[in-house]
A and B are shown apart, each in its own frame.
Chain A
Amino acid sequence: MDTETMAAETRAKRPIRWHVGVFLAPAVLVYTAFMILPLFGTLQLSLFRNIEQSQVFVGLGNFRTLFGDPNWSVNFWNALRNNVWFFVIHMLVQNPIGILLAALLSSPKLRFTAFYRTAIFVPTILSFVIVGFAWKLILSPIWGVAPHLMDFVGLKSFFTPWLGKEQYALTALSLVSVWQFVGIPMMLIYAALLSIPDEVIEAAECDGVTGMAQFWKIKLPLILPSIGIISILTFVGNFNAFDLIYTAQGALAGPNYSTDILGTFLYRAFFGFQLQVGDPNMGAAIATIMFLIILAGVCVYLFLVQTRLRRYQF
């Protein structure tokens, strides 16, 4: 390639190119100082414990406490289980709805698509505080908007204060989160569907593949890489979630810890709550577990999904 030889020549002529360093330095410095080093600092802290005002190396002791000591492990496994359920709901509800909406939006000659796109994306830009509180009000039996609406479709008898009941609260909050973020899979899949070249679709139509069959047999395989991306984005986002639960149910993730996820658990361990004092080392241990979970997810994505599903190059 022309540019490569040219770059090679430049390199030969100018052995030290200070400007490359100048361009890179600020970003690399800030990123390293406030992201990478704290991340490793946290991993390191998880191996220490504060004994008599000094940090003592305890190896995997904190993790043993986290997994084995009933004071911690009950809450930890509960938070992990809840987090998995939180993720499962997103995968089963958010992503299929997102794909459906994207498929509809991308149908040719459909009018008002710009309006739909803009409107459906609105919840995504709102802060968790707004979303959490607004839904808390709507689902509140005091206000009565939810039972009132359900009355319209004759389902009033099914209404219960979902956020206040242990068996429903987590699912209800997961669905609120789905409501908020459905715009992201919708947009990414929409972009992927639009980038399928017309020739492919026309060829399918010539072969008589139209409508639903066309979606399942032609378009879906072509957007699989994007589905992989939205899955990993959902995974990382969910195992890192905190704000919505904190806003809607507080740091105690009530009722009775039924909505506790790793993010809220980390917050309580780190800062303490009620009678328990905060413990940075245990907080770091929880953050380390979250890091390992997310890293495992990203690795699965990179090595399994990404290598199998090569992007289609047109």
Chain B
Amino acid sequence: MSTATHSLPRTIGAHAILITYTVIALFPVILVVMNSFKSRAGIFGAPLTPPTTKTFDLIGYTTVFGQGDFFHYFQNSLVVTVASLFFVLLFGAMAAFALSEYRFRGNTLMGLYLALGIMIPIRLGTVAILQLMVASGLVNTLTALILVYTAQGLPLAIFILSEFMKQVSNDLKNAGRIDGLSEYTIFFRLVLPLVRPAMATVAVFTMIPIWNDLWFPLILAPSEETKTVTLGAQLFLGQFVTNWNAILAALSLAILPVLILYVIFSRQLIRGITSGAVK
């Protein structure tokens, strides 16, 4: 690249805007986490300063752990997310393989049919989904959530994975066929390991909306037994409107696991979004 495009003032300007926006993006998160470690007087007296020895207080966290059954909610969220993710990845990869590998009548049509769900949100079918779950006795079970989230995640997973599977070398698969491998072995042993990076991308894309969803837990599984952490936090926050210590602590507890996962997987996520573009 020529040097004409980045003079010093332009670089400084770019950094200034980016830093400003980074502050805007992170400020609320930092503010909440910071104040969750303070006493009530500290929260209201000096909201913008980090906790000092004088204002440091864990009262919010003790309230949260004493009141809400967050560990249980967390477990529910984990079960739902992991199970849905597993099915989305397995079924999605299988369907993507069928669509990208074999030419059969209706291939394109099937691809379009499965891609419909990328644009049309599953939420619009809620009324009938609830009736279906009531009829099959699945209301207030985690199974109901897992089934719905699997259906929700499949269209995008199939779309992304079939793009990647088209790139897997045909010679490799045909070599496998000559060696007498079955189509199933070719898929599980040869193709799946090669699309692992794409699977990771799909996993991150699928995971975030499932973990954060409020709509379906609220409608399909609102019982105490099956509450997810998002719904639990929502109800808890509603109950403790005036207890700011507890609210801030609960918010921080909800932020931290996601944030930690994000920091670990951000490289994967960003590579996924910009896939093919970052050389």
Main secondary structure of the interface of B (DSSP, over half): helix
Task: Provide the bound-state CA to CA distance between A44 and B125, in Å.
Answer: 11
Which 5 residue pairs across A and B have the least CB separation, nearest first?
A41-B128, A38-B125, A127-B212, A27-B95, A34-B151
Say whether B28 contacts A138, CB under 8 Å.
yes
A-contacting residues, B1-39, CB 8 Å:
1-2, 4-6, 10-11, 14-15, 17-18, 21-22, 24-26, 28-29, 31-32
When distances are taken between beta carbons in the complex, the residues of chain A under 8 Å from B255 are 126, 130
A-contacting residues, B155-174, CB 8 Å:
155, 158, 170, 174
Task: Provide the bound-state CA to CA distance between A257 and B83, in Å.
Answer: 38
Could you tell me the distance in whole angstroms from the C-beta of B141 to the nearest C-beta in chain A?
14
When distances are taken between beta carbons in the complex, the residues of chain A under 8 Å from B277 are 190-192, 194-195
Say whether A191 contacts B274, CB under 8 Å.
yes
Q: Is A222 interfacial (CB 8 A cutoff)?
A: no
7 extra A-B contacts, CB within 8 A, seeds A39-B120, A129-B234, A188-B273: A38-B128, A39-B124, A108-B6, A135-B28, A179-B24, A243-B215, A246-B214
Say whether A19 contacts B151, CB under 8 Å.
no
Say whether B48 contacts A148, CB under 8 Å.
yes
Say whether B147 contacts A34, CB under 8 Å.
yes
Q: Is A227 interfacial (CB 8 A cutoff)?
A: no
Instruction: Name the residue among A24, A144, A188 with the largest chain B CB count within 10 angstroms.
Output: A24
When distances are taken between beta carbons in the complex, the residues of chain A under 8 Å from B121 are 236, 240, 294
Say whether A122 contacts B212, CB under 8 Å.
no
Contact with A along B95-137 (1 / 0, CB 8 A): 1011100111000001001101101111111111111100000
Main secondary structure of the interface of A (DSSP, over half): helix
Q: Is B211 interfacial (CB 8 A cutoff)?
A: yes
Binds B, one of A76-84, A85-93, A99-107, A153-161: A99-107
Instruction: Name the residue among B130, B132, B155, B234 with the largest chain A CB count within 10 angstroms.
Output: B234
Say whether A24 contacts B94, CB under 8 Å.
yes
Task: Provide the bound-state CA to CA distance between A288 and B215, in Å.
Answer: 18
In the complex, residue of chain B having the shortest beta-carbon distance to the beta carbon of A232: B119
Task: Provide the bound-state CA to CA distance between A110 and B7, in Å.
Answer: 11
Partner of A120, one of B22, B215, B233: B22
B-contacting residues, A280-311, CB 8 Å:
280, 283-284, 287-288, 290-291, 294-295, 298
Contact with A along B25-67 (1 / 0, CB 8 A): 1101101100000000001100110000000000000000000
Sorting the interface of chain A by its residue count into under 10, 10 to 19, 20 to 34 or 35 or more gives 35 or more
Say whether B117 contacts A31, CB under 8 Å.
yes
Say whether B31 contacts A145, CB under 8 Å.
yes
In the complex, residue of chain B having the shortest beta-carbon distance to the beta carbon of A187: B273
Task: Provide the bound-state CA to CA distance between A7 and B48, in Å.
Answer: 66
Say whether B124 contacts A104, CB under 8 Å.
no
Say whether B32 contacts A101, CB under 8 Å.
no
Say whether A42 contacts B124, CB under 8 Å.
yes
Asked if A41 meets B125 with Cβ closer than 8 Å, knowing A134-B28, A205-B4, A210-B5, the reply is yes
Asked if A42 meets B214 with Cβ closer than 8 Å, knowing A194-B277, A236-B121, the reply is no
When distances are taken between beta carbons in the complex, the residues of chain B under 8 Å from A37 are 128, 132
B-contacting residues, A14-34, CB 8 Å:
17, 19-20, 22-24, 26-28, 30-31, 33-34
Q: Is B74 interfacial (CB 8 A cutoff)?
A: no
23 contacts between A and B (CB under 8 A): A23-B97, A23-B98, A24-B94, A27-B95, A30-B150, A33-B151, A35-B125, A35-B152, A38-B126, A39-B120, A41-B132, A44-B128, A112-B18, A116-B21, A122-B259, A123-B29, A125-B259, A127-B254, A133-B247, A137-B244, A247-B214, A270-B127, A284-B128
In the complex, residue of chain B having the shortest beta-carbon distance to the beta carbon of A143: B47
Say whether B183 contacts A270, CB under 8 Å.
no
Say whether A143 contacts B44, CB under 8 Å.
yes
In the complex, residue of chain A having the shortest beta-carbon distance to the beta carbon of B14: A104
Q: Is A64 interfacial (CB 8 A cutoff)?
A: no
Task: Provide the bound-state CA to CA distance between A208 and B219, in Å.
Answer: 59
When distances are taken between beta carbons in the complex, the residues of chain B under 8 Å from A294 are 119-121, 124
Say whether B211 contacts A26, CB under 8 Å.
no
